[in-house]
Amino acid sequence: MLEDLKRQVYEANMQLPRLGLVNFTWGNVSGIDRGKGLFVIKPSGVPYEKLKPSDLVVVDLNGKVIEGDLRPSSDTPTHAVLYRHFLKVGGITHTHSPWAVSYAAAGRGIPVLNTTHADTFYGEVPVTRNLTANEIQGDYEKNTGKVIIDTFKKQHLSPAAMKAVLVNQHGPFTWGKNASESVYNAKVLEVIAEMNYHTLLLNPAIKPVSPQLLNKHYLRKHGKNAYYGQKNRLGKK
């Protein structure tokens, strides 16, 4: 079942090592079929070089396995929470990419210091609060999802414009309209984290870009007035 989606999610997972975003098995990508209310996710702990499309696991929005011989990613409950609350999200990526983890572990969000950031993320990439002892000892992966949702609520963020979060002391989750776009956003996040770090050390007093520059760059790539790329041309896809 969901063979096309499995193929897409498989290809997206295989992008993680190619883009230098994972060591060993430390990452996972999922993609959802909103009509069926099911999503497809990488199995837990399977090395990328051995992963096959048929290894992918189909789960429902409670994270229950519907199809598949292997145990799904241990982060499946986090994906499920995000799909339940972020209704337009079609794909989710989680990695332990080193620059994003460095910020997450420092408990710092990533401010918008340059246009590369503004091209993809519409504002400072938020960092969650730490989970409480109870949240950790309880349903940990589900609570990881909840703390992300809380962060977006408290900071009045839209998952459509801010497609990334840093879970404090843990690492990044990114999303997009499908699995492939969530991987793209994971790579952009890693690149801007690296740039931000060096900028902050060069100029600790640096301020974020103006709302005008943020708008200009974000909106030339997103939304109905976007003019970057070939997609919005008349007669073009």
| Residues of this chain that bind its own copies (CB under 8 A) | 23-26, 43-46, 70-71, 74, 96, 98-99, 101-108, 113-116, 130-131, 133, 136-137, 140, 169-171, 184, 187-188, 191, 194-203, 206, 209-210, 212-213, 216, 220, 227-231, 233
CB of 91 to its own copies, least distance (A): 17
How many CB atoms neighbour CB 214 within 10 A? 20
For its own copies, which is the closer residue by CB, 156 or 198? 198
For its own copies, which is the closer residue by CB, 103 or 175? 103
Question: Could you say which of 10, 83, 103, 119 is catalytic?
Answer: 119
119 catalytic residue (yes or no): yes
60 catalytic residue (yes or no): no
CB of 45 to its own copies, least distance (A): 3
∠ at Cα 21 (18, 25), nearest 5°?
Answer: 90
For its own copies, which is the closer residue by CB, 104 or 148? 104
For its own copies, which is the closer residue by CB, 65 or 160? 65
CB of 74 to its own copies, least distance (A): 5
CB of 133 to its own copies, least distance (A): 4
The residues annotated with a catalytic role in the active site are 119, 228
